[in-house]
Amino acid sequence: MTHTVSLLNMKGGVGKTTLAVNLAWYAYRHRNKRVLLIDFDPQFNASQYVMDYSAYADHVKNKGTIADLLIESPTLRLRPKQRRPATTACIAHLEHSESACLDFLPSELTLAHVVKNPAQMEFRLEKLLAPTRPHYDYIFIDCAPTDSVLTTMALTASCFVLVPMRPDRFSILGFANLIKTIEAFRENSSDPNNVQNLGLVFTQVRGSSSVEADCMNDIRVQAVKLKSYVFRNTLGYSNTFLTAIQNQTPAFETKYARDDLKASIGEVVKEMESRITQLSANGDTAEGAQ
């Protein structure tokens, strides 16, 4: 069974891309899973994290990106290719073993065209993933920080949503809006996957100030009101993540990284897996959240 998880928060810079890439890498390298990571953001940050510039440029030119799969417009400069390619043709095979793989569907700036021309896009991602879905245990979708048709498409294509969040004041109201957006989507959509909220994961936690601790408590209180789960495991604030992005490596394999920080990524993956099991069995109860 394939679990498709969108990493979503309309607030920018909260660690969606960093978490998405590291979850994907961890699930492949340490859980032996077949993983597809999708960069679904016109900023294409995940693409820059996992592919070096020449490999990316080569891939964009010769194979195409998620934008090629979604956009049909002779006026755009999309590849000099005659027809829209098949999904598999645009997928980069980053790593593989005998039984597992880490595949990647890159993005590019042109994806923004979808936001400007949203007509009839809602089911497009869901549809284009359909044939490839059975090849994967996990599909992680790194979403853009916007409430746009890209969000609707990602939610439509996903079984689960995971909300990375930085513990700051500005996150509190944004969180309430995000949960309402997900709930409204669940109520109004004919989404066949009926997306469920896995909960929020605190990222960039410094753990050294009472202001931050108070803020995390306030967000937890808010989460109880909104019936949303809060992950017990958090990702600390560390330059390790900056180094990892710079070196295009998983943060949990960064040299000289603190052991607790390396372990935290694995702990978030395990907690995510147990949430998926729980939600798949019981529905969305947020039980045991706080």
Ligand X SMILES: Nc1ncnc2c1ncn2[C@@H]1O[C@H](COP(=O)(O)OP(=O)(O)OP(=O)(O)O)[C@@H](O)[C@H]1O
Residues that bind ligand X (CB under 6 A): 12-18, 41, 43, 45, 145, 203-204, 235, 237-238, 241-242, 245
Which is it for strands 34-40 and 196-202: parallel, antiparallel or unpaired? unpaired
- The angle formed by the CA atoms of residues 127, 130 and 135, to the nearest 5 degrees, is 155
Residue 288, C-beta contacts closer than 8 angstroms, at least 6 positions apart: 229
- Closer to ligand X by Cβ: residue 163 or 279: 163
Nearer to ligand X, 87 or 203 (CB): 203
Q: Given candidates 4, 6, 22, 45, which one binds Mg ion under the rule CB under 5 A? A: 45
Strand 92-96 vs strand 138-143: parallel, antiparallel, or unpaired?
unpaired
Considering the complex, what minimum distance in angstroms separates the CB of residue 102 from Mg ion? 18
Instruction: Mention every residue, 6+ apart, whose C-beta is less than 8 A from residue 26.
Output: 250, 252, 265, 266, 269
Of 44 and 279, CB closest to Mg ion:
44
If binding is defined by CB under 5 A, does position 16 make contact with Mg ion?
yes
Which stretch in 26-34, 38-46, 85-93, 126-134 sits in contact with Mg ion by CB under 5 A? Answer: 38-46
Per-residue DSSP letter, 143:
E
> What's the min distance (Å) between Cβ of 40 and Mg ion?
9
Between 18 and 228, whose beta carbon lies closer to ligand X?
A: 18
Would you state the structure tokens that stand for residue 105, as one six-digit string? 């569907």
* DSSP label of 86: P
Task: Output the smallest distance, CB 280 to ligand X, in A.
Answer: 27
Residue 265 structure tokens: 């990524």
Nearer to Mg ion, 85 or 174 (CB): 174
Residue among 108 and 284 whose Cβ is closer to ligand X: 108
Contact (CB, 8 A) for 7 and 162: yes
127, 162 contact by CB (below 8 A): no
Of the candidate spans 37-45, 89-97, 206-214, 238-246, the one that interacts with Mg ion by CB under 5 A turns out to be 37-45
Stretch that binds Mg ion, among 45-53, 85-93, 217-225, 271-279 (CB under 5 A): 45-53
Compute φ and ψ for 18, nearest 5 degrees: -60, -45
Least Cβ distance, residue 161 to ligand X (angstroms): 14
Q: Which of 104, 116, 3, 122 is CA-nearest to residue 46?
A: 104
Q: Nearest distance from residue 277's CB to ligand X, in Å? A: 26
6, 17, 107, 238: residue in contact with Mg ion (rule CB under 5 A): 17
Contacts of 117 (CB under 8 A, 6+ apart): 73
List interacting residues with Mg ion (CB under 5 A): 16-17, 45
